[in-house]
Amino acid sequence: MESRGEGRGLAGESSEMAAALRAAKQALRAEMKRRLRALSEAEKQRQSRLLSRKVIGHSKYQESQRIAIFLSMQDEIETEEIIKDIFQRGKECFIPQYKPRSSHMDMVKLTSAEEISSLPLTSWNIHQPCDNDVREEALSGGGLDLILMPGLGFDKSGNRLGRGKGYYDTFLERCMHHPKGKPYTIALAFKEQICDSVPVAENDIQIDEILYEDS
């Protein structure tokens, strides 16, 4: 039986470790943002085109019918070509619908690639259906086969550094409780986003595969 003093010591130690992990993540986020700012538009487009071809030629993509994909921010791999291909192949496409001031995100069905430009913009300057726009939500139906994911930094072990809101980790946790189980996950990254190691907590979920120029 531990004494109260030991209990306080353990609690203090765990809170120190949590604070150190937060600080390490914040430092890496700052470094990743610096690297991304240094990328020219032409270079981002070049790597995005290359990644689009990698995804479209990927066996997991070809065999998947229900695919979730992010709508790109300025410092992310551009996904427009992949989204067009999803519809050309008659697959089903789901995009994020974030709930503000929470870590909750749904993946809701997109009806066409052309529809994206008419969707409202969030504070992050991302198109997404508004809250009262009722659409099929992926996990209330047939689940997902594949999720194509963004992030700020990645390592070759499949660890991902997000933007600190926890949307994707929370969503993947929900996927695990779906009858279909967890979908295959592929992160799309500029080669500049690959790090030696990403600091992770217990609830950070590893990605199955990270695609980048040299992978």
The residue type at 191: K
* pLDDT reading at 9 higher than 80: no
Least confident of 98-107, 132-141, 205-214: 98-107
Average model confidence (pLDDT) for the chain? 91
Domain containing 66: what range? Answer: 4-211
Q: What is the pTM of this model?
A: 0.89
Domain count, the chain: 1
> What pLDDT score does 2 carry?
42
Least confident of 35-49, 64-78, 189-203: 189-203
CATH code for position 99: 3.40.50.10420
Residue bearing tokens 């600190």: 164
- Specify binding-site residues for substrate: 71, 76
- Specify binding-site residues for ATP: 25-29, 160-168
- Specify binding-site residues: 25-29, 71, 76, 160-168
